[in-house]
Amino acid sequence: MRRHEVLVIEQAGRSMFTAIRRAWVRRGANAIAALGITTLAAGFLPPAAAQAATSGAVIDSSNCMANWLPANDDNSTSAVLLPFKVNFYGATYERMYVNNNGNVTFDAPLSAYTPFGLTGTRTPIIAPFFADVDTRVGGGSGIVGYGWGNTVYEGRRAVCVSWKSVGYYNYHSDKTNTFQLLLVEHGNSGDLDIVFNYDQVQWETGDASGGRGGLGGSSARAGFSSGSGQPGTFFEMPGSGVNGAFLDSAATGLANNSTESRQPGRHVFRIRGGAAPLTRYVALGDSYSSGFGMGSYATGTHPDTWGGDNDCQRSTLAYSHIVAKKLGLDLDFNACQGGVTQDFYTPRAYDEDLHEDDEGVWNEKPQLTHLDNSTRLVTFTIGGNDSGFATIYEECALGMELQPWNDCYEDDKVTKPLAAAFTRLDGGGDNGDRKLQKVVPYPTVFSGARARAPYAERVVIGYPTFFTKDGTDWSCQLIEKADQRWIHEKTLELNAIIKRNAELNGFRYVDPNPYFAGHEFCSANEWFYGVTEPGKVHPTPPGHAAIAQAILKELTSDDRPHFMVMPFETATTSFNVNSPQDAVNVGIEWPGSDIQLTLKSPSGKTYDRTAQPDGATNTHGPTWDQLTVPHPELGTWQVSMNGADVDPQGEEAKLRVTQTEAPNQAPVGAFDMSVDGTVLKLDASKSTDSDGTITSYDWYVRLADGTERVLHGAKAGTTLPAGQRFKATLVITDNDAASSFTSRTAVAVAIDVKPGSADNPINLKSKGVTPIAILSTEDFDATRVQVASVRVGPAAATVEKAGVQDVNGDGRADQLLHVSTPALGLRSGDTALSLSGTLRDGVPFVGTDQVRVMQ
């Protein structure tokens, strides 16, 4: 009781309270119930509670009122022996104290009446409504009762504490609240559900806490805390300490909303393994998650700002801060620039292969050690550094051996290591490569994260593409257009690997690229830092805001089929396998307890946790069950989900079926090109796709002045300056989104068949030769032609005779060739004659002229 007031208790009440206390000391908790029955029989009844409109959340059970506190202000029970052990944030409790002021504690009774914040308290506490409750008006306004039983909550054993129609200090009952706490047993390991039920909340503050008429001042708080003060060991419901937020009159009122329940006024917090999975958002990953280059870095994560060695660059502008604020979660931010998959398992330390810029140990723990049962949400980006994208970009932009005509996409120094890294990340071997041995495959990363955070929403984010599909400026951020396309395609290829492995291991995949459309490099509104800026080739703050938006949308738009699975009942559905598949993966997830998955094949084979014929595999955990069947039978498969151990009201199972085709074979590009005067003609009709169809043909033609032209279609053409070197690159894409790049470099030369002739007639019956002039121009010296390399016509005829002379009288020396007419291979209907060859410096050339074929 407060030191400044006199506690008024009627004589009968005082005698009753004394008797209860003595009985408690002598015989323990069970004496209370026995004494309560005796006194009720003798006519001493608990005060009647006022009737009020309710939400229907509060459980109306006699078990909840088996014991009760006499009318009081700030009193508590003695230690109440619990019917089952409670594992609360790793500490096991067998007793608790019921405190009048809307809470229970475990280490000692609590008489505090002005609510304090639960984030920093050293008191282990669970508080459905921590405020100044007063039940003394007129012999007691309302009741504080408690008890337990097998039917208190949906058939499970539960401890129940009810504050029914209680008033507020000092002796006020003009406004009353009805709320309840349930501790619901799950199994015998100490797992439980904390349930807050609210039927009516009309007041929020007592007079001694700054309130007037039950409102304002230091308002009520709701939530729980382990008392350690450590991040992730406490939770306060949104609105705690905010005037008016909890009241029935507010849209945010406790009785007007729910958590993990369809019942208004009911807020359920599942505690598994000692931790509540509603408090912590663990953000892991690499520089795309840390906020590299944006500034506003957390203490100790940027040497230039804070000193020390750690340069993780964890920015307060990163997407994780936005997501945490929007969802009201406690952020545990551990992403680190330069992060690789190995950092998920070993401390971040200097490694010349993986962390070339590190100067020593950064005092970073393995990233996965931050995950546990208290994790509500985990997000990350990872794999870009394992793939070597930073090195690739540098090579594409600055590799001197590539200039001016070689491209990054055909440079073995980057393409072969990238392909090997992708294979390794996708679950493949390391082939004895020392660098690849340090890459942890995605299946291991994702399954490891799910095992450590089984009750969390798990999200992996793909990488935004720096460039548009067709490219923009001819040398945007030092990258040529064709290489822009290649980097774009390889980013999408990595994202596809990430998505596939994520979905097979209980992760949700977020694609940021729809949000970045129109904000790539060299657009009007870029969301990337340029190569010369501190955040080079990384998203800017608007980019991180877009990633946050993508994550939030994914978390609120689950497209997986949902099934309500009832206790010991089976929910069923089916799916079809209509074409040969490499494997089918079927997985279900649920909030907790246990749902068992069974598959039945079209021929009647059964697959479950105990039976996995034909090389099938099963993995299951506290919140998932998953079966993978290689080479599944064609036809209709039956899916059964049995409620082996679920809440009596049922639990929602979310189903994902992933059918994986045999690995796609990339299409093979091949093309012909010819130059007719000043027109370059391109033809990709020879391209093939062994296991699908080619869906797009795109051409990138680079000229000697550095400009590039983008063309589309299996056949395409463009004008070229005569005598100038050019490079044509064909990019074909198949129906599985796989692409291949094929290129040819040449000089477009002007040729003149039968100089002096207007229509260049060629008689197929002629036994003679056809003269052909390769003409010199201001930009091209025809005398540089290696005559022996020249091939002419469809039959690739060789030159019989050659000489240098000014054929067209422009003062420049031309190359005049004589080729056997029958050897040309022309046929009736041909209208053009082409030739090709190489110059003395090895550069190819092509040229075409119109002809009239005569029989």
What integer pLDDT is reported at residue 519 of this predicted model? 96
10 is written with which tokens?
């009627």
695 is written with which tokens?
């869906």
263 is written with which tokens?
């019942």
What integer pLDDT is reported at residue 259 of this predicted model? 82
What integer pLDDT is reported at residue 11 of this predicted model? 27
H-type alpha helices, 48-151: none
556 is written with which tokens?
């609120």
pLDDT of 20 > 70? The answer is no
The region, left, alpha or beta by phi > 0 then psi within -120 to 50, assigned to residue 102 is left
Residues 309-346 have pLDDT tens digits of: 899 999 999 999 999 998 888 899 999 999 999 999 99
Beta strands across the sheet bearing 103-105: 80-88, 91-99, 103-105, 125-130, 221-225, 234-236
- Average pLDDT over all residues of the chain: 87
pLDDT tier for residue 354 given thresholds of 50, 70 and 90: low
744 is written with which tokens?
């040819």
What integer pLDDT is reported at residue 1 of this predicted model? 38
Q: Higher-confidence residue: 615 or 841?
A: 615
pTM for this model (two decimals): 0.73
> For residue 561, is the peptide bond before it cis, meaning its omega torsion is within 30 degrees of 0?
no
Residues 498-534 have pLDDT tens digits of: 999 999 999 999 999 999 999 999 999 999 999 889 8
Mean pLDDT for 661-666 is 88
Mean pLDDT for 624-628 is 96
**What percent of the chain stands above pLDDT 70?**
89
pLDDT of 45 > 50? The answer is no
Domains identified in the chain and CATH numbers = 11-271 (no CATH), 280-385+439-468+494-555 (3.40.50.1110), 562-656 (2.60.120.380), 672-747 (2.60.40.10), 750-854 (2.60.40.10)
Residues 167-211 have pLDDT tens digits of: 999 999 999 999 999 999 887 778 888 999 999 999 999 999 999
pLDDT tier for residue 846 given thresholds of 50, 70 and 90: very high
pLDDT tier for residue 410 given thresholds of 50, 70 and 90: confident
pLDDT of 695 > 50? The answer is yes
DSSP 8-class letter at 76:
B
Mean pLDDT for 455-464 is 95
Q: Higher-confidence residue: 391 or 302?
A: 302
Q: Higher-confidence residue: 269 or 801?
A: 801
Helix, strand, coil % (nearest 5) of the chain?
A: 20, 35, 45
Mean pLDDT for 801-810 is 95
Q: Which of 80, 157, 92, 160 is nearest to 124 (CA)?
A: 92
> For residue 170, is the peptide bond before it cis, meaning its omega torsion is within 30 degrees of 0?
yes
Q: By three-state DSSP, how is residue 607 classified?
A: strand
What integer pLDDT is reported at residue 138 of this predicted model? 63
Q: Which of 852, 741, 325, 790 is nearest to 544 (CA)?
A: 325
What integer pLDDT is reported at residue 403 of this predicted model? 57
Cβ pair 226, 91 in contact under 8 A: yes
Q: By three-state DSSP, how is residue 481 classified?
A: helix
pLDDT of 350 > 60? The answer is no
For 812, what's the count of Cα atoms within 13 Å in the CB-facing half-sphere?
A: 16
List the single range of 132-146, 246-260, 589-603 with lowest mean pLDDT. Answer: 132-146
Mean pLDDT for 642-650 is 81
What integer pLDDT is reported at residue 38 of this predicted model? 25
What integer pLDDT is reported at residue 278 of this predicted model? 65
Cβ pair 581, 603 in contact under 8 A: no
pLDDT tier for residue 35 given thresholds of 50, 70 and 90: very low
List the single range of 57-71, 149-163, 725-739, 836-850 with lowest mean pLDDT. Answer: 149-163
pLDDT tier for residue 404 given thresholds of 50, 70 and 90: low
Residues 737-752 have pLDDT tens digits of: 899 999 998 999 999 9
What would the DSSP string read from start to end of 334-358?
---TT--GGGGTS-B--BTTTBTT-
Mean pLDDT for 772-795 is 94
pLDDT tier for residue 497 given thresholds of 50, 70 and 90: very high
Q: What is the 3-state secondary structure (H, E, C) of 238-294?
A: CCCCCCCCCCCCCCCCHHHCCECCCCCCEEEEEEECCECCCCEEEECCCHHHHCCCC
pLDDT of 348 > 90? The answer is no
Mean pLDDT for 380-395 is 89
Angle at 854 between CA 849 and CA 855, to 5 degrees: 145
Angstrom distance (rounded) from CA 471 to CA 671: 22
pLDDT of 111 > 80? The answer is yes
Q: By three-state DSSP, how is residue 718 classified?
A: strand
Pairing of strands 330-333, 280-283: parallel
Angstrom distance (rounded) from CA 395 to CA 382: 21
pLDDT of 4 > 60? The answer is no
Q: Please, what is the angle between helix 541-555 and helix 319-327, to 10°?
A: 40
Cβ pair 541, 319 in contact under 8 A: no
Residue ranges with strand state E in 724-781? 725-734, 739-748, 750-753, 761-763, 769-775
**The residue count for the chain:** 855
AA identity, residue 269: F
Pairing of strands 583-589, 715-719: unpaired
